[in-house]
Chains A and B, each alone.
Chain A
Amino acid sequence: MSLYTEIGGEPAVNAAVDIFYRKVLKDDRIKHFFDGVDMGKQASKQKAFLTMAFGGPHNYTGEDMRKGHAHLVAKGLNDSHFNAVMENLGATLTELNVPGHLIAQAAAIAESTRKDVLGK
């Protein structure tokens, strides 16, 4: 079974997106990256992020991640911000009672994008 199926598929993403996005918007370390954008549209992008981290269907390439975050890198996005997002992801899944070994797999997928997201 794939990680995505094991975590619970789209319903799991839907359950996670509000919790995750609330954490991100309350996190003083990173919330400024999300200023000035439509919250509803932004929430859909969070959903894309979570689907990806859960190993779900997506068509993003490393190059897409690089381009998609380049404007944030220009605003100073660095490892500490990336770590903050990883932390919020882990805390969200813990809150949803996702078993530890699945959280570790999701974290590994997100972690694998670090270089691209940070434009290194």
Chain B
Amino acid sequence: MPTVVYGGQSYECGEQSVLDCLTAQGVPIPSSCRSGSCQTCLMRAIKGSVPEKAKAGLKPTLAAQNYFLPCSCYPEENIEIVLPAEGMGKIEATVASVEYLNADILGIKLHPSKPLTYKAGQFINFFRDAATARSYSLASVPALDHELYLNVRKVPSGLVSGWIFSNLKAGDTVTISEAAGDCFYVPGKPGQNILLIGTGSGLAPLYGIIRDALLNGHTGQISLYHGSYNADGFYLVKELQKLEQYHSNFRYTPCVSEGEAQKDYAQGMVLDIALADNPDLSGWRIFLCGNPDMVNAAKRETFFAGASMNDIYADPF
């Protein structure tokens, strides 16, 4: 009979669902509908795999990371499972380079001490010290880049970003976590159109996702809108223009929200411009990263414009 390991203990579930089995033993797992729709009891398998039925209705990015619903899980093999927030191990990394991408954003390349499994667009936690960590998104693509690539924006009097700006240099050893997050490209549906909207360093995950999609031979339109107050806020511009030259299905639109209209930039709020260009988003996949007000408004507006909730991926920060 398959066993289920959770929190260092083994359980035999018999005819019960994993959720019923754990809760019957007094293990506190948050739950609500207990029948596979509300997703409150979400867990992740870190060893072994669960039957497909236990992943029904989950977002593709969650399913791809072995998330499942224990209420609908009747395991057929031994599994080890964790709650979503657990299971992010720590590793050491060496800083390979630090460079200014613009006045407020640093590009940081890290060389992890052991291979890190991740998807472009996920994030790692960066530890300033054992008790102080912040999340930074991965702009690198595992198959294309040797190093992890972060874009860190300077937050006024920010504890960790401020420390990074004043202290971090090539050669330093730092502690980071394993990667997590569900804002990334899942192969399949290569013809689906993709809309990406970001502000500031919200470009970091999007830059990774775009290159990952292109690497996977995505054929649908891939439209990136990067918003900034003024033209000084743009970065990775040459790289993005180059991608545009090589891939006819990729379009890069930098948008400035303040000041006079200028050549090469769309003028206005990034979300308004993206929606005006693409009023019908039925069937599209959407990625939204950066300023929380923009991201939250964009979730609602892209949903109203026809995108399915399951196709909207967002990291507000």
* Partner among A10, A18, A41 whose Cβ is within 8 Å of the Cβ of B57: A10
Q: Is the interface of B mostly helix, strand, loop or mixed?
A: loop
Residues on A with beta carbons closer than 8 Å to the beta carbon of B33: 48, 51, 58-60
Q: Which of A20-28, A82-90, A104-112 contacts B (4 or more CB under 8 A)?
A: A20-28
Q: How far is the CA of A13 from the CA of B33 in the complex (A)?
A: 15
Closest-CB distance, A45 to chain B (whole angstroms): 6
Q: Which residues of A contact B310 (CB under 8 A)?
A: 43
B241 in the interface (beta carbon within 8 A): no
- B34, B35, B39, B308: which contacts A18 (Cβ < 8 A)? B308
- Quick one: given A14-B57, A25-B300, are A57 and B309 in contact (CB under 8 Å)? no
Question: Which residues of chain A have C-beta atoms less than 8 A from B36's C-beta?
Answer: 57
Q: Name 25 interchain pairs, CB-CB below 8 A, sorted by A.
A: A13-B37, A17-B309, A18-B308, A18-B309, A21-B309, A22-B304, A25-B304, A26-B304, A39-B299, A40-B59, A40-B309, A40-B312, A43-B309, A44-B38, A44-B39, A44-B57, A47-B38, A48-B32, A48-B38, A51-B33, A51-B35, A58-B37, A60-B33, A64-B32, A68-B32
Q: Does B74 contact A (CB under 8 A)?
A: no
Known: A18-B308, A21-B309, A60-B33. A39 touches B303 (CB 8 A): yes
Question: Using a CB–CB distance below 8 Å, which chain A residues touch chain B?
Answer: 10, 13-14, 17-18, 21-22, 25-26, 39-41, 43-45, 47-48, 51, 56-60, 64, 68
B56 at the interface (CB under 8 A from A): yes
Q: Determine how close the nearest CB of chain B comes to the CB of A83; give it in whole angstroms.
A: 23
B41-83 vs A, Cβ < 8 Å mask (1 yes, 0 no) = 0000000000000001101000000000000000000000000
Of residues 2 through 58 on chain B, the ones whose CB sits less than 8 Å from some CB of chain A are 32-40, 56-57
Number of interface residues of B (CB under 8 A): 20
Which residue on chain A has the smallest CB distance to residue B59?
A: A40
Chain B residues whose CB sits within 8 angstroms of the CB of A39 once the complex forms: 299-300, 303, 309, 312
Residues of chain A within 8 A (CB-CB) of B57 are 10, 14, 44, 47
Min distance, Cβ B84 to any Cβ of chain A, angstroms: 12
Shortest Cβ gap from B201 to chain A (Å): 22
CA distance A40 to B303 in the complex (A): 11
Cβ–Cβ < 8 Å partners of B299 in chain A: 39
A10-B56, A13-B37, A58-B37 are known; give 5 further A-B pairs, CB within 8 A. A21-B309, A39-B303, A51-B35, A59-B33, A59-B34
Beta-carbon contact of A57 and B35 below 8 Å:
yes
The 3 closest A-B pairs by CB, nearest first: A44-B39, A48-B38, A43-B309
B142-187 interface with A by 8 A CB criterion: none
Asked if A44 and B308 sit within 8 Å, CB to CB, the answer is no
CA distance A22 to B299 in the complex (A): 12
Proximity bits, B282-317, A CB within 8 Å = 1, else 0: 000000000000000001100110001110100000
Residues from chain B with a CB closer than 8 A to the CB of A14 are: 57
A4 to B299, CA, bound (A): 30
Q: Which residue of A lies closest to B299 (CB)?
A: A39
Residues on B with C-beta less than 8 A from A60 are: 33
What residues on A are CB-neighbors of B34 within 8 Å?
59
Cα separation A57 to B34 with both chains bound (whole Å): 9
Which residues does chain A contribute within 8 Å of B37, judged by CB atoms? 13, 44, 47-48, 51, 56, 58
Min CB distance B180 to A, Å, is 16
Q: What separation, in Å, do the CA atoms of A60 and B56 have in the docked complex?
A: 19
Q: Which residues of A contact B304 (CB under 8 A)?
A: 22, 25-26
